[in-house]
Structure 1
Amino acid sequence: MEKDQRWKNLKRRMSNGKRRAKDNRRMHKSGCNSWDEYCKPGDMVDQGVADYFLDILPPRTMTSDYFQVGEPHSHAINPKTMKNCGTYATFAVRGKEIWEYCGNCFPHMCVDVEKFKKRDSVQAFFA
């Protein structure tokens, strides 16, 4: 999907009132036990969530477009290098004080590591 179309889809989702950016306060009220349970790749989060993750550790990677939390979430085989590599919670800027949670990504990437896992069947892919 092209960047302009993704931006239009984001604006539509954020403006329709049904889908608000997730924040720290609602996470605590949600009853979820972990960040990964509360927020999925593609979810929008507010500036407070981004600030929280920037404050807990120095970022692994930080550019004007995205940042990665400083400690690895897990490790997986990086398809570019074919080496075991850390994966990092990644947040990309999508608007003024709005960030997209990209998932746990390899360094300098904004694609969730789950996209690279091999699946044995179409059913396993959609599970």
Structure 2
Amino acid sequence: MELTLPLLAGSLSTAIFAISTLPMLVKAGRSKNMASYSLGNLALANVGNMVHSVYVFSLPVGPVWVLHSFYLVSTVLMLIWYLRYEGSVGRRKAHSGSHPAQAHAPAGAPVPQPLR
């Protein structure tokens, strides 16, 4: 493969885009805090990436394949993390305002009242 200006520019921009996304992935992976992300946005990004794959992978192998593959992996990972971490946070939030004895009680069970 001959090194041309378009190939060099594509390789450089792929590296820049990937490097710019890594801090977000590292922070989300370490903190497990996905509250600033939207399920709708992550879902649409994944659907868009899947549809765009039809186009990208019809092109000759090059930097765009690497960049698109990176985006495929990172958006799927962010969606998995969102569902895993925000789903468990959502369940915890639902029980945080209830009485401790009520956290594992069946729905509709009476809430214990403090003694007076």
Fold agreement, TM-score > 0.5 = no
Structure that is richer in helix per residue: 2
- TM-score normalized with structure 2 length: 0.25
Higher relative contact order (CA 8 A, sep 6+): 2
Rg larger in structure: 2
- TM-score normalized with structure 1 length: 0.23
Structure that is richer in strand per residue: 1
